[in-house]
Amino acid sequence: MELAELLQVLAALARYGVDYVLVGGAALNIHGIIRATEDADLFVKPERENIERLKNALKSVYHDSLIDEITADDLLGEYPAVRYYPPTGSLFLDVLTRLGEAFTWEDLEHEKHVVEGVPVIVATPATLFRMKRNTVRLQDRADAERLREEFDLGEQP
């Protein structure tokens, strides 16, 4: 994943007023925990208008008519996640509005960082820790341990 491409997408989200929170490996990198990742995980506020703003922001970067296949019905439905592969670049996006029953928009504590002049809304280290600590993926558990150590999170509820 190229940082420049991610920042281009995040700048577009800011311009279009998309309510989102960056989670996953890219969020770890924003917090200074460097980990290779091929995607950016965007947790978006589950509202039709917000999803339309998201699509418009992505179109401003990628000029791809396939973005119209991302629908509010999908993201607000039973399977609230879509993966978008842009026609150019090395970044792909996982867009979600909830993580099963474990995390909803309201569960996400977030903060604003500025990276190379681009505002980035990112999950807090404590939120990332809670998202990753009890998954079945070994990488998530390793990420949780690094978050716990780096940010002195102790045993979070």
Residues 6+ apart with CB under 8 A from 55: 67, 68, 70
Separation between Cα atoms, residue 111 and residue 100, nearest integer Å: 23
**Per the structure, how many domains does the chain have?**
1
Query: 156 lies in a domain?
Result: no
Sequential pLDDT tens for the chain (157 residues): 689 999 999 999 999 999 999 999 999 999 999 999 989 999 999 999 999 999 999 999 999 999 999 999 999 999 899 999 999 888 999 999 999 888 999 999 999 999 999 999 999 999 999 999 999 999 999 999 999 999 999 765 5
User: Do 97 and 7 form a contact (C-beta atoms < 8 A)?
Assistant: no
Q: Tell me which residue range forms the domain holding 20.
A: 3-150
CATH number of the structural domain spanning residue 131: 3.30.460
Beta strands in 8-109 (DSSP E): 20-23, 39-44, 81-84, 92-96, 98-99, 103-104
User: Do 139 and 147 form a contact (C-beta atoms < 8 A)?
Assistant: no
